[in-house]
Structure 1
Amino acid sequence: MNLRQIEVFRAVVTNGTTARAAEVLRISQPAVSKMIQELERAIGFPVFDRIKGRLRPTAEGQLFFREIEQAFTGLTELRSAAARIRDFGSGKLRIACLSALSTNLAPRALHGFTKHHPNIAITLQTRTSSVARDLVASGQFDLGIVADEIDTTGIDVRPFASFRVAVAMPEDHELTGCDIVRPADLAGRRFIALSPEDTTRQEAEAAFERANVTPHIILETPFSTTICAMVAEGLGVGLVNPLTAEPYLGHGLVLRPFEPELHFRTLLILPPHRPPSRILTDFIAELKKVLG
């Protein structure tokens, strides 16, 4: 039994006669009859009764036809899937994003992206940069938006964005009178710090050391959003990504520039040895568009 024999059988049942099936398939009527005979020999039972020169499906032939129709439905779905892959590369998009950009930049990019790709299934998970790196390196996720402290071996790495560090402080803090906050201004103050592995924290510590300053660290966290929440509650001050602080401005928190100028640097990471699909390329374009 082969696929061509099944196609001929289906065409005869669907069109009612071997003549019409031959016309649809663009083969001769004797070729159709021969294919049916070969199919019957291959499967071991007759699929048609020959009554007065006409073919009528046997009971077994009708059961076989139903099975074939289910298989052809599956083939139709495969053709649709192939079309989606051809046009978009995949019907899914899996993104792992560091916390600092998961509540601002990523949603804005997804808003624009879904206008053009409304049927794409999207997974967005907020993860630490190191976990996002592992998810992308293993091929479980299509894209990571991460800080630059990660191990970049075994992944496709692309520079993304840089954000100048700001000092977040409660609205009633005495440093709100400063146009610029310097390390000396933070000496002895209650300070909410990023995790030690964060490259921005390491650069800040170097600046504090040069100024012979030691902030009073009361809490460490890997997330700028957590620092903003703590600052808004009056627990202390901290260095944050200004983009992360946007929802808190006017709600218990203010920002001031920090000098020396430091930056949060972010990367886009992709699985190794896998060209990005069209939908992934489109989403990356939306991310860059949101950045302006």
Structure 2
Amino acid sequence: MKHRQVEAFHALIISGSTVRAAEIMGITQPAVSRLIAELEHSVRFPLFDRVRGRLVPTPEARLFFREVEESFRGMDRLRAAAAGIRDYGEGTLRIGGLAAGSVALIPSAIRLFRESHPKIRITFHVKSSADIRNGIVDGQYDIGLAADEIDKAGVDTQTFASSPGVVAMPMDHPLASKETIKPEHLSDLPLLGLVPEDRARQRLDTLLAQHNVVPDYIVETPNSATICALAESGNAVGLINPMVIDSAHPNRVAFRPFRPSVIFRSLLIFPVEKQKSKLVREFTKTLMALR
């Protein structure tokens, strides 16, 4: 059984005549008849009966046609997939993002990206930076946004942002009256802190130690957005990644710059030694424009 024979059978069923089938396939009428005869020889049952000058499909042919239709639908899906790959690189985009970038930045990038790529299917997972890095290595993600503490072995990286942290606090907190927060201002205050393995947390602790300030962390969390939420409903303050400022309630949380600066660094990460698809390149461009 050859594909051209099955194609002739499909064309003859949907058109009802060898003349129309020949037109659909761009071949002669005798060529269609020959292909049908060859297919009947291959399947070893009759496909058409001639009734009053017309070719009528046999019951066996109708059963066979169901399977042929399914295979043709599969071919249509393959053609659509090929068109998607040709036009967009791949038909799906898999993104992993750290929590700070997942509050507003990445959703905004996805929204803008989909305006020009509405048919692309996107998966987006919010994970720890280490999990995002591992997902890139394992082929789970096409692009990731992670903090700079990741193990960079086995991935390609591109610097995304280096931003000075800000201190989040309740609107009525005494520190809200200050234009800039300094290390000595945090002495003897309840603090909301990122987890000890976070690089920005480590930079803050080093700076506080240099100013003889012993931090009193009452809550530790991996997420700057969580620090914002806790600051909104309590009396503690915490240093956060400025990426999450837009997620906070503007009338409940105040933000003040911290000096000397504590830098939050983030990276875009990609599978190593793999050419980036058009989708990945365009989404990267969208992300970079929103920094």
Query: How far is 1:198 from its partner?
Result: 0.9
Q: Which amino acid aligns with 1:233?
A: S
Q: Which residue of 2 aligns with 1:73?
A: 73
Unaligned runs of 5+ in 1: none
Alignment of 1:98-137 (within 5 A): 98-137=98-137
Q: Which amino acid aligns with 1:140?
A: Q
Summarize deviations over 1:246-273 as a string: whole Å, max 9, x none: 3435433222211112211111112334
Query: How far is 1:217 from its partner?
Result: 1.8
Answer yes or no: is the 8 Å Cα contact 1:92–1:121 preserved in 2: yes
Q: Which residue of 2 aligns with 1:189?
A: 189
Distance 1:249 1:113 in 2: 26
* Greater mean alpha carbon deviation, residues 239-248 or residues 45-54: 45-54
Summarize deviations over 1:193-231 as a string: whole Å, max 9, x none: 111111111111221122222122222111111111222
Answer yes or no: is the 8 Å Cα contact 1:5–1:38 preserved in 2: yes
* Greater mean alpha carbon deviation, residues 185-194 or residues 148-157: 185-194
Secondary structure of the corresponding residue to residue 290 of structure 2: helix
Secondary structure of the corresponding residue to residue 94 of structure 1: strand
Distance 1:255 1:54, change over 3 A: closer
Answer yes or no: is the 8 Å Cα contact 1:165–1:263 preserved in 2: yes
Say if 2:43 is the partner of 1:25.
Answer: no
Say if 2:125 is the partner of 1:138.
Answer: no
Secondary structure of the corresponding residue to residue 119 of structure 1: coil
Say if 2:63 is the partner of 1:63.
Answer: yes
Query: How far is 1:51 from its partner?
Result: 5.3
Summarize deviations over 1:237-292 as a string: whole Å, max 9, x none: 1111223133435433222211112211111112334333323322222212222x
Say if 2:285 is the partner of 1:289.
Answer: no
Unaligned runs of 5+ in 2: none
Say if 2:171 is the partner of 1:171.
Answer: yes
Summarize deviations over 1:124-168 as a string: whole Å, max 9, x none: 222111112222221112221111111111122111112211122
* Greater mean alpha carbon deviation, residues 168-177 or residues 202-211: 168-177
Secondary structure of the corresponding residue to residue 64 of structure 1: helix
Q: Which amino acid aligns with 1:199?
A: R
Say if 2:222 is the partner of 1:222.
Answer: yes
Secondary structure of the corresponding residue to residue 284 of structure 1: helix
Q: Which residue of 2 aligns with 1:275?
A: 275
Answer yes or no: is the 8 Å Cα contact 1:232–1:251 preserved in 2: no
Distance 2:246 2:49 in 1: 77
Q: Which amino acid aligns with 2:21?
A: A
Q: Which amino acid aligns with 2:59?
A: A
Q: Which amino acid aligns with 1:161?
A: A
Q: Which amino acid aligns with 2:47?
A: V
Q: Which amino acid aligns with 2:269?
A: I
Normalised TM-score (structure 2): 0.90
Answer yes or no: is the 8 Å Cα contact 1:168–1:255 preserved in 2: yes
* Greater mean alpha carbon deviation, residues 102-111 or residues 167-176: 167-176
Answer yes or no: is the 8 Å Cα contact 1:84–1:90 preserved in 2: yes
Distance 2:81 2:39 in 1: 30
Secondary structure of the corresponding residue to residue 200 of structure 2: helix
Answer yes or no: is the 8 Å Cα contact 2:132–2:146 preserved in 1: yes
Q: Which residue of 2 aligns with 1:95?
A: 95
Distance 1:258 1:65, change over 3 A: same
Answer yes or no: is the 8 Å Cα contact 2:95–2:124 preserved in 1: yes
Distance 1:19 1:229 in 2: 73
Q: Which residue of 2 aligns with 1:161?
A: 161
Secondary structure of the corresponding residue to residue 141 of structure 1: coil
RMSD: 2.2
Distance 1:48 1:202, change over 3 A: same
Q: Which amino acid aligns with 1:56?
A: V
Alignment of 1:220-259 (within 5 A): 220-248=220-248, 250-259=250-259
Distance 1:59 1:248, change over 3 A: closer
Query: How far is 1:45 from its partner?
Result: 1.0
Q: Which amino acid aligns with 1:11?
A: A
Secondary structure of the corresponding residue to residue 256 of structure 1: strand
Summarize deviations over 1:6-25 as a string: whole Å, max 9, x none: 11222333333434433443
Alignment of 1:197-208 (within 5 A): 197-208=197-208
